[in-house]
Chains A and B, each alone.
Chain A
Amino acid sequence: MFELDKNIENWVNEFKANQSMQNSDIDELESHLRDSIAELQKKGLSPEESFWVARQRLGDTTMLVNEFAHVNRALLWRKRIFWLLSGYFLVTTISYLAKFCALPIHFISLPWLSTQAYTFNVHYFLPVSLFIFVLFVAGAVLMIIATQKDIVPGKRFRFFHFFTGLKVGYKFVFILLGFYLFILSGKFFSLMFLVKNSSPAMAGNLSEAEAFFSILWNAFLFITLVIFTIQLQKNKHESVSID
């Protein structure tokens, strides 16, 4: 038995999985599809036939998504930056957490890992925190894969779809590199500013100050993330006023 509403819902979900469509765009297309189906049914087609004909008339999903992406380019970029920033914060949080967890391990035991067991040793500290970091990342990836398993077909996990949606691979690498450079440049310029404004006698305090500025930079990025989140949220609930 052909379920019309379920098929329409699946069709809508194909669009929802994509970042370049706004909800209002999808509503408009759905309304068009339903109008089209209603008219075809009036002409004597079965629900199933009219669904497929109407769907075919509207056009291929990928083609439509690409066309909408042209118009909604600004929105697409806001979403990309949003994901990049959240990714950055996830990684930094995990790495801080890893360092934090590595500290007690260092002080408590595992002397065989270190040359000087009871003094603070960077060469020992680093691999432990790195190991914990990798564990966290692996855990996060596993969690994402686990959530993907029990998903209804046609309703893909959004985060993955965002990556697979970028057709040209190097485009994505390019964006990532650009973003990394952007983050680094912020830190670099704050450091430049410090070196320029401090006397040789203050050299010892440099790393402290650098850490301070890096906190400022992170705070700036965090505020940007919050702004993007609010803007995207606004976009989601955007509805046109009724005349």
Chain B
Amino acid sequence: MIDKDLMAASSRPLILTILSQHESYGYEIIKKIHELSNDEIQWKDGMLYPVLHKLEKEGCIESFVKISETGRKRKYYRIKSEGTKLLETQRKQWNVVNSVFNLLMEKKPCLS
């Protein structure tokens, strides 16, 4: 299970990445994250929405209502150009952290 702070930091790039592939709604996003992480990432489902709303307020994503297959209204989200830009910088930052981490963890041959 992944630490709370790390989860909070990674939630935005994760959501943006999913939305950059296709428009989606809360339940689908959280399902995808659960599946891809083999349930290692365990958000409380509801915590996703404040993050989504914040991203929407910042102009990174936008929402619209569609009628779902069950006939109920469902709020969908899609990424905007602001969001794509943010995702790009966040991806770069993650890559830097990731590569530093990998280099540090690399097993050096023991000379003695």
- Which A residues lie at the B interface, using CB under 8 A? 24-25, 27-29, 31-32, 34-36, 38, 57-60, 63-64, 67-68, 70-72, 239-243
CA of A68 to CA of B51, assembled, Å:
9
State which residues 57-91 of B face A: CB under 8 Å: 57, 63-68, 70, 72-75
Query: Are A239 and B65 interface neighbours, CB within 8 A?
Result: yes
Residue in B46, B68, B72 whose beta carbon sits within 8 Å of that of A58 in the complex: B46
Which residues of the partner chain B approach A240 to less than 8 Å between Cβ atoms?
Answer: 63-65, 75
- Which B residues lie at the A interface, using CB under 8 A? 25-27, 44-47, 49-50, 53-54, 57, 63-68, 70, 72-75
Query: Are B50 and A59 interface neighbours, CB within 8 A?
Result: no
Give the residue name and chain of the B residue nearest to A22 (CB): B53
Give the residue name and chain of the B residue nearest to A242 (CB): B65
A25 to chain B, nearest CB (A): 7
Query: Are A32 and B46 interface neighbours, CB within 8 A?
Result: yes
A227 to chain B, nearest CB (A): 22
Query: Are A71 and B44 interface neighbours, CB within 8 A?
Result: no
Which residues of the partner chain B approach A28 to less than 8 Å between Cβ atoms?
Answer: 26, 49, 75
Query: Are A67 and B26 interface neighbours, CB within 8 A?
Result: no
Give the residue name and chain of the B residue nearest to A57 (CB): B45
B59 to chain A, nearest CB (A): 14
12 A-B pairs with CB atoms under 8 Å apart are A27-B73, A28-B49, A31-B72, A31-B75, A32-B45, A35-B27, A36-B27, A60-B44, A239-B65, A240-B63, A240-B64, A240-B65
A205 to chain B, nearest CB (A): 52
B73 to chain A, nearest CB (A): 7
CA of A31 to CA of B66, assembled, Å:
12
B78 to chain A, nearest CB (A): 9
CA of A240 to CA of B6, assembled, Å:
33
CA of A107 to CA of B106, assembled, Å:
96
Query: Are B66 and A67 interface neighbours, CB within 8 A?
Result: no
Which residues of the partner chain B approach A243 to less than 8 Å between Cβ atoms?
Answer: 64-66
Which residues of the partner chain A approach B64 to less than 8 Å between Cβ atoms?
Answer: 240-243
Query: Are B74 and A29 interface neighbours, CB within 8 A?
Result: no
Query: Are A32 and B57 interface neighbours, CB within 8 A?
Result: no
